[in-house]
Amino acid sequence: MVFSLTMATPSVDFSCFSASNETLLSSSPFKTLKLPLFWPWQKVKMGPLTVSPMGFGTWAWGNQLLWGYQEAMDSELQRTFNLAVENGINLFDTADSYGTGRLNGQSEKLLGKFIREFQGQKQVKDKILIATKFAAYPWRLTPGQFVNACKSSLQRMEIEQIGIGQLHWSTANYAPLQELALWDGLVAMYDKGLVQAVGVSNYGPKQLVKIYDYLKARGVPLCSAQVQFSLLSMGEDQMEIKNICDSLGVRLISYSPLGLGMLTGKYSPSNLPRGPRGLLFRQIIPGLDPLLNSLKKIAQRRKKTMPQVAINWCICKGTIPIPGVRTVKQAEENLGALGWRLSSDELLQLEYAALESPRKMIQNIFQTR
């Protein structure tokens, strides 16, 4: 529905659409129809895949320890998923390790269920791509065991093929032999057609080039490299990774683009989230004033919100951000990061403010050199 309506109303200026702008046309025969929050046909290439310029992350969907997940949240998560897909998002990031304790795998299970139960157009549903990550657990020692991990993810989601099968982290620093077995596992799952494309996560610049060459020699293109990348995580290594990705034709997927929520502006030293995130934020937020002020100023001038500006920065850097979303409201707001671009001056202002802020995100301990 949404697609045909927007195609028929090209004169509407969508560039000003954000979550805060209600998306109903008030004075037209289409009164009761909802417009999408951005141009849903805007897509980018990632290897053989065609994806929305932003995906959504689902780490929180099943994680009690860090994100306070409860099963009672599932209906909200399903509405969040539906809203995203109806508005053109076709990329969802998950992992076989997402979900704590007995809920291990919950994020994949929920995604599978939400795809099955999606009521919208079949052609929209068919374009949904799951990027999952297979953990480099110490007991996954052979290519066959890694392929079995992929088969288990497929079973949990009850889908036939994974969009991107990603190696969650490199074991090069502590178990180099295991690393080769995992790489061969990626090759095997690609050759068997279990995944449409192959990606890595938490690979530093050197290791990224190595795996790229290794896969290439076996006829497997490396499609994506997922790393922590945001205004809070744009150090030398991350920029080097970005440059390498550009030169190799690999897409950088930026995870934690909102700094786990710190860049939304809603947290402060006197308003911290519960649990381990609160402990981390307590260390970082007091040094974030220059960056948060710059985000706020640009957001106000643009009639956008701080999360929208933070996500748009990732897009303008040529990456595909995958902000984590837990509610319909967050998804609506984050969709407003699409359909417009920060100017080069604004990008510089934000980056300068980030450099001025003394504290940064702690780098993922699993990221290699």
Read off the tokens for 280: 């981390």
Q: Which is nearer to ligand NAP, 196 or 224 (CB)?
A: 224
Closest approach of ligand NAP to the CB of residue 22, in Å: 17
Q: Which is nearer to ligand NAP, 216 or 266 (CB)?
A: 266
Closest approach of ligand NAP to the CB of residue 268, in Å: 13
Closest approach of ligand NAP to the CB of residue 163, in Å: 13
Closest approach of ligand NAP to the CB of residue 320, in Å: 11
d(CA 235, CA 17): 32
Q: Which is nearer to ligand NAP, 353 or 361 (CB)?
A: 361
Q: Is 98 among the catalytic positions?
A: yes
List, in order, residues 6 or more apart from 56 with CB less than 8 Å away: 80, 81, 84, 89, 91, 92, 93, 322, 323, 324, 325, 331, 334
Closest approach of ligand NAP to the CB of residue 357, in Å: 16
Rg over CA atoms, the chain: 20
Choosing from 98, 190, 203, 212, which is the catalytic residue? Answer: 98
Q: Which residues bind ligand NAP (CB under 6 A)?
A: 57-60, 93, 133, 201-202, 226, 255-261, 264, 266, 273, 307, 322-326, 330, 333-334, 364
Q: Which is nearer to ligand NAP, 244 or 361 (CB)?
A: 361
Closest approach of ligand NAP to the CB of residue 161, in Å: 19
d(CA 82, CA 80): 5
Q: Which is nearer to ligand NAP, 4 or 300 (CB)?
A: 300
* Closest listed residue to residue 177, CA positions, set 202, 229, 223, 142: 142
Q: Which is nearer to ligand NAP, 211 or 322 (CB)?
A: 322
Give long-range contacts, CB 8 A cutoff, 24+ apart: 191-196. 191/220, 192/147, 193/161, 194/147, 194/150, 194/151, 194/154, 194/161, 194/162, 194/165, 195/150, 195/161, 195/162, 195/163, 195/164, 195/165, 196/48, 196/49, 196/129, 196/161, 196/162, 196/163, 196/164
**CA triplet 258, 259, 260: central angle to 5 degrees?**
90
Residue 349 has φ and ψ, to the nearest 5°, of -60, -45
Residues labelled as active-site residues:
98
